[in-house]
Amino acid sequence: MSPLDFLQENARSYLEKILAILDIEASVNQEEIDETTVCYRIECKPDDARVLIGRNGQTLEALQFIVRQMCKSQQTDQGPFVIDILDYRSRRKRTLEEQAKKGAVAVLNGDTEKFALQPMSPYERRLVHQYLQENFADLASESEAEGADRHIVISFKGMPSGAASEEDGEDDYFEGSSEEA
């Protein structure tokens, strides 16, 4: 058994144990995303999925962090993996891309100099940065703030960095907030 196979079996086993402790009936399917990354897809009842996903995926991120830490305690050579529930990550990615597009269009149309998206996880910020880079060559995206407040600001390339302009107003600083779970 290769080290990656060992890690994958441990990650799946830990995930199944956590679900059993939480008394959630679910199946865990393993799927390769690419040569190095595995996705564990959890299939469960929608009510259980809402609990496991949490607001804006925060519980899902915490679950993935816990499983990752459990794997790290067993082995130092950790391969990347992601946990998904009822295809939440794909739906969330589409939502984030729609929000990023809205911000990009607002900047391109001159409605605002800078457009700040709501705070999001490092994984989600990476998805948004990639989307903007691939689809809006004239725009730049930068992560700003720290911790739970870290978010992306969209502007034209070459503009000085910093928080979104004050003329945008406090109410719409974090555009595109979503309550998806």
How buried is 35 (Cβ within 10 angstroms: 0-12 exposed, 13-18 middle, 19+ buried)?
Answer: exposed
* pLDDT at residue 173 in the model: 42
| Domain final position from 56, 86, 116 | 86
* pLDDT score of 77 more than 80: no
* pLDDT score of 72 more than 90: no
Do 22 and 74 share a structural domain? yes
Q: What is the mean pLDDT of residues 137-142?
A: 95
Report the number of distinct structural domains present in the chain.
2
Q: Is residue 133 part of a domain?
A: yes
Do 127 and 71 share a structural domain? no
* pLDDT score of 37 more than 90: no
Do 148 and 122 share a structural domain? yes
Residue 117 tokens read as 């998206």
Helix (H) or strand (E) run with residue 169 in it:
none
pTM listed for this prediction = 0.73
* pLDDT score of 134 more than 90: yes
* pLDDT score of 78 more than 70: no
* pLDDT score of 27 more than 80: yes
Do 140 and 162 share a structural domain? yes
| Domain final position from 54, 86, 118 | 86
* pLDDT at residue 1 in the model: 52
* Averaged pLDDT score across all residues of the chain: 84
Do 58 and 20 share a structural domain? yes
- Whether the CB-CB separation of 176 and 102 falls below 8 Å is answered with yes
| Domain final position from 61, 86, 111 | 86
Percent of the chain residues topping a pLDDT of 90:
59
Three-state DSSP class for residue 153: strand
* pLDDT at residue 160 in the model: 62
